[in-house]
Amino acid sequence: MDDLLLELRHTLIDRFTKDEVRTYIFIIMKEVCGLKPYQILLDKDVLITKNQRRLALEYARRISADEPVQYVFGKEEFFNLQFAVNPSVLIPRPETTELVEMVLEDYMGSAPRILDIGTGSGCIAISLAKYLPEAKVFALDVSEEALAVARENANSNGVKVTFGQKDILRDKNEDDFVSSRIYDCIVSNPPYVTNSEKLKMERNVLEYEPELALFVSDEDPLVFYRVISDFAIRHLATNGSLYFEINQRFGQETVNLLRKKGKYRSVELFKDISGNDRMIRARV
């Protein structure tokens, strides 16, 4: 095993600090060989197969090229559930768990009709379906590739979510599977990073995660919030709620946009655990 560990260090050391290299080696060896850190440090006689060696070195090369670990291993944990991920979907973020928590707190013990707009990996819709077992959950995305991942995740997590393709910005059909229904809850984490913010983003995000799910123009950064809030006015039941994850730069602007609609009886802005404006709840 020592020679493999040496090769892994050699592959990673030019890109990462010694502590980061150590962490990545532990992660890779656990994923490939099922070894815990103490076994790597103390048990030098562990036999490594040729396939395990090949896979471990491949993972190290991909990580050293700044590919996100979640894509390298093809999975990420979210809300204590395992999700398959690939470059057709965003990697679920910790901030989004706070959005899910808010919806769960509001609907725990009930059977709401829920729509997730821009579902991506399905992490929001599937988590809500898992922890609100009486809910009827629907989800849509513009990308068929993303929907394929979301369907796989629903199956692997043992929940029923009805998925469908729809471009919420351009598809005005009111007779499709989404628009022909009324919902108690509509939730969305739409694209909200402006093109000008690209300069501040890490290479592993810019080069690997899907632009379609991330970016909006600087000229109309709230386009998704405007269109989805109009959709929600038409499709939320009485006392229904709309939930958004937002760009922290546009917290008050997004609140003002919703209030100007004149249809929401309350619009609340919430901060995430880091103290940034991150979530909005609007009730009709």
- The model's confidence at residue 175, banded by pLDDT at 50, 70 and 90, is confident
DSSP annotation of 209: S
CA 26, CA 29: separation in Å to the nearest integer? 5
Question: 78-283 has which fold?
Answer: Rossmann fold (3.40.50)
pLDDT per position as a tens digit, 120-171: 999 999 999 999 999 999 999 999 999 999 999 999 999 999 999 999 999 9
Which residue type occupies 84? A
Q: Which residues pair with 268 in a beta bridge?
A: 281
| Greatest CA separation for the chain | 70
pTM: 0.94
DSSP letters of 160-192? --EEEE--TTT---SSSTTTTS-EEEEEE----
User: Which tokens belong to 95?
Assistant: 């901030």
Buried b (16+ CB within 10 A) or exposed e, 32-54: bbebeeeebeeeeeeebeeebbe
β-strand pairing of 277-283 with 266-271: antiparallel
pLDDT per position as a tens digit, 8-22: 999 999 999 999 999
3-state DSSP of 86-108: CCCCCCCCHHHHHHHHHHHHHHC
Checking if the pLDDT of 240 tops 80, the result is yes
| 145 closest CA partner among 73, 75, 213 | 213
128 burial class (0-12, 13-18, 19+ CB within 10 angstroms)? Answer: buried
